[in-house]
Amino acid sequence: MSIDDDSAQDVDPAVQAAREEQVTAEVLASFEGTPDPRLKQIMQSLTRHLHAFVREVRLTEDEWNAGIEFLTRAGHITDDKRQEYILLSDVLGVSMLTVGINAPARANATESTVFGPFFVENSPAIDNGGDVAEGVPGTPCWVTGTVTSTTGEPIGGARIEVWFADEDGFYDVQYEDTVIRGRAHLHTRQDGTYEFWAITPPEYPIPFDGPVGAMLAATNRPHYRPAHIHFMVTAPGYHDLITHIFVAGNDYLDKDAVFGVKDSLIYDFQHHEPTTAHGRTLTQPWDTVHFPIVLAPTGPGEHEGHGRPVS
C-alpha cells in the first residue's frame, strides 16, 4: 500500500490511478445483486466515499492499522452502560448531521439535538410535581413548561422523558451500583402543562478514558459538554422530539464537544434564596426554569419517530 521515494519515481500516475479505480469498481460491482435497493445505495455510496478518502489522504499501512486498532478499542470498551460508537458519532458531528436530516426545522416547533449515549429505557414514572433527581446531589431546580402543537393547542398526555448528570458531571449509569437516579418520565396534564423537580445541571467532560478521548486529546479539542437537561417528548400524531435545554451563560456553550447547542435551546435558570416552595422546604439556594415545548404534527403517511438511536 505504501510506496517509498525511490520506487515512486518508477510509478506511472495514470496506471496507478487506474489500478486504484479498478479496486473501487470491483467492490461496487459486488453489491449490484443486493435485493434491498436502499441497502444497495448505502453500501455503494459508503464504498465510493471511503475509497475516495483513502485515495485523498494516501493512507499508509501503519495508519490503516492504527484505525483498525482504534475501532477495536471502541468495541472493547462498549458495554450495556457505555456506547463508544455513539460517542464517536457525536464528536465527529455525524449525530447532529443525522438529527438535522431526520428532524428538520418545522414551523415554530422546538428544535432537536443529539440523543447522547446515556439514555436508558424503562425509566421510573413520576407524577407532575415529582422529583426526577431522587437524591442526586446538586442545586434543586423547579422545572415547568407546556407541550403544545405548532398551532398552539395544548397536548395532554404527552410523555416526557427526562435525564441529567449529577453535580459531579456523571449519569447514574456511570456508577458501579445499579441505582436509578436523575432520570424519570411523566405525562402532561390535559392542559399541556408539566412540572417536576430536578437539579441545575453542570457542564461535564464526556467519557475520555477511551479511544474517543484519546482522539480528542491528540487533536487538541475540548472534551466538555455545556450544562444541559435531556428531554424526549412523544405524543400520538406528532413527531418525536429529542432535545436539551442548556443553561444560559455556561462557559462551554460555544465549544460543545458534540456540536449539540442551538440558540433556541438556551434558557435562563432563575436563582432564588432558601424558602418553602412547591411542596418542599428549601434550606439552600434553588433555581427555576420554564421550558415551553412545541411539537410538529405528522403529515399523511409520516411516521412519528425519526430513527432515534438506541444506546
Beta bridge partners of 288: 142, 270
Supply φ then ψ for residue 31, to 5 degrees. Answer: -95, 0
Q: What is the pLDDT at residue 107?
A: 74
Give the containing element (helix H, strand E) for 64. helix 61-77
Look up residue 178 and give its amino acid.
Answer: T
Q: What is the pLDDT at residue 310?
A: 33
Q: What is the pLDDT at residue 308?
A: 45
Beta carbons within 10 angstroms of residue 121's beta carbon: 7
Q: What is the pLDDT at residue 99?
A: 87
Q: Which residues of the chain have pLDDT under 50?
A: 306-311
Could you give the CA distance from residue 94 to residue 181 in angstroms, rounded to a whole number?
29
Q: What is the pLDDT at residue 275?
A: 96
Give the start-to-end residue ranges of the domains of the chain: 5-59, 84-295
Q: What is the pTM of this model?
A: 0.85
CATH class of 84-295: mainly beta
Could you give the CA distance from residue 58 to residue 39 in angstroms, rounded to a whole number?
28
Q: What is the pLDDT at residue 306?
A: 46
Asked whether 159 and 235 are in contact (CB, 8 A), the reply is yes
Contacts of 206 (CB under 8 A, 6+ apart): 87, 90, 91, 212, 213, 223, 224, 225, 257, 258
